[in-house]
Amino acid sequence: MTQIPPLNSLRAFDAAGRHLNFRAAADEMGVTQGAVAQQVRQLEAHLGIPLFERLPKGLAFTSSGRSYHGRVVTAFEELRAATATLRPEPGRVLVSVTPTFAAKWLIPNLPDFSATHPQIDLQILATEKVSSFHGDGIDVAIRQGKPPFGAALDAVRLFRQEIIAVAAPSLLAPHGLPLSRETLSHLPKLHDAHDLWPAFLRELKADDRGGHGLRLSQTALTMDAALSGQGIALVSSFLAQRDIAAGHLVQVIPETLLGDQHFYMLAMRGPKRSHAAQAVVEWFAAKGEYA
């Protein structure tokens, strides 16, 4: 087996690589500049390759050093995450949400949470992946789907999937509201990974004559494109409420598309839920449509 380099040398390399400066790395680690430089030299000797180019005003990665540093940083992050899972900090709550939910609903509502619960360290993991409560240390998750979610989970429906069509007032200026089906048909459409336009247009008995339209991976991106006047986006109504109230977006037609993939809050069932996690669960539940 390949011998793992000394941990102190890896820590020095990690810090030196982030700062590209031995002195700054030494200040972070609480040791001398010479100690950091020595640890990095020992690591280079262990590996048999140079990791840095020593420059008059700092450091520069070699090609091998840059690649190695990226993997070392990832390894240290994994170690920190694994330790945090075993030894959760009091008052720390990790919430897993999709990037769209984070950008368009959670972040705008965080000031209210912080004012209500200033003692809770709420940490947000924005990812499309299905997070593991045990493996990833997740306390609460917000996901779109439909029951059942598993006997070990409490599930609370927060928002229903009610799809509306929205656009910027600048795009709609030449047209009256609500848009006619013919006008809607000819305006450019913004598409995300959910690909809801075919079903929405079938409900309206309308065709799409707006060209290919812009295709983006996330609903938040189609909303941003709509805000800049690039087309009409389909979004869950609760995600657009703030922009509609501010006049940045307009619902272009009153018809909606109702789906069965609603937005649920999930949390582990049982007595092990911390007081902080319970407070987060109650806050989300109070903010949902069904409070």
Q: Sketch out the chain's domains with CATH numbers.
A: 7-86 (1.10.10.10), 92-160+261-287 (3.40.190.10), 162-258 (3.40.190.10)
Report residue 167: phi and psi, to 5°. -155, 165
Averaged over 96-103, what is the pLDDT?
96
pLDDT at 65 over 60: yes
Report whether the peptide linkage leading into residue 178 is cis, meaning its omega lies within 30 degrees of zero: yes
Q: Find the mean pLDDT for residues 178-199.
A: 94
Q: In terms of DSSP bridges, do strands 257-258 and 162-167 run parallel, antiparallel, or are they unpaired?
A: antiparallel
Instruction: State the Cα–Cα distance between residues 15 and 26, nearest whole angstrom.
Output: 8
Q: Which of 282, 290, 263, 53 is CA-nearest to residue 160?
A: 263
Q: Tell me: the pLDDT tens digits for 226-270?
A: 999 999 999 999 999 999 999 999 999 999 999 889 999 999 887
State the pLDDT confidence band at 166, using cuts at 50, 70 and 90. very high
Across the range 46-65, mean pLDDT stands at: 94
Question: CA 104 to CA 241: how far, in whole Å?
Answer: 9
What's the rounded mean pLDDT across residues 32-59? 95
pLDDT of the residue at 1 = 47
What tokens appear for 276 in the block?
């902080």
Give the list of residues 6+ apart from residue 167 with CB closer than 8 angstroms, or none: 187, 226, 229, 231, 232, 233, 249, 250, 252
Q: Which of 58-62, 75-79, 104-108, 245-249 has the lowest mean pLDDT?
A: 75-79
Task: Answer whether 120's CB lies under 8 Å from 128's CB.
Answer: no
Q: Is 139 exposed, middle or buried (0-12, 13-18, 19+ CB in 10 A)?
A: buried
Tens-place pLDDT, residues 79-97: 887 777 676 666 889 999 9
